[in-house]
A and B are shown apart, each in its own frame.
Chain A
């Protein structure tokens, strides 16, 4: 069975902290994605990766960075958390080709 696991369901961090969100998939997928989801704005792509150590900016990369040192793991980093980064963060993975995407359970991040 397909499995995308995000390290935390809920997270509360202080303004200015460095925050790491981890995502692991067990399906050997090449592509991995980080989205944030906000009411009225839908899902917005932050970064994606199509191979180990490869990354591309999505639609809203400002204030974020990513790391993909191993195929199964894709980390989202908030260098200095701010209150406007309070959101639901969703990780997804997809194999090469025109195939289905699978999502993790989401991380609800609150920055205070």
Chain B
């Protein structure tokens, strides 16, 4: 059964730091992995989608990598800003038959960037 873990659960950093958020999954049979951002009391905003054949995706100061064989993804945030403060969630889409419509979610990393 696919499980997704995000470590750490919470992170507090000073403004300007480069930081890495981690996401691990137990079964490498995935179609893709998606990173989301959630502000308090709000819905989810899609940040990056990495297909299983890809190694990384970039959008602005964000870079997400995927190592399917080791079951890991990282979200790298360069030059962090207070506006980056949010909860970051990762989700994988399994590719095994019968279970490939649903996303499997981590519990998220709550990030605080302090001015």
Contacts and interface: CB of A to CB of B under 8 A. Distances in A.
A92 B51 CA distance: 19
A90 B43 contact: yes
Interface string A61-101: 00000000000000000000000000010101000001111
Interface residues of A, number: 25
Contacts of B93: 98
A100 B22 CA distance: 20
Interface in B101-115: 101-103, 105-108
A40 B43 contact: no
B75 interface: no
B83 to A, nearest CB: 18
B31 A101 contact: no
A42 B108 contact: yes
A57 B106 CA distance: 20
A12 B108 CA distance: 27
A77 to B, nearest CB: 20
Contact of B31 (A31, A33, A50, A98): A98
A13 interface: no
A101 B34 contact: yes
Contacts of B91: 43, 101
Contacts of A108: 41
A42 B43 contact: no
Contacts of A4: 43
Interface of A: 4, 6, 31, 33, 40, 42-43, 45, 48, 50, 56, 58, 88, 90, 92, 98-106, 108
12 contacts: A42-B107, A43-B105, A45-B103, A90-B43, A98-B31, A98-B32, A101-B34, A101-B103, A102-B46, A103-B36, A103-B44, A106-B41
Interface of B: 31-32, 34, 36, 41-46, 49, 51, 89, 91, 93, 101-103, 105-108
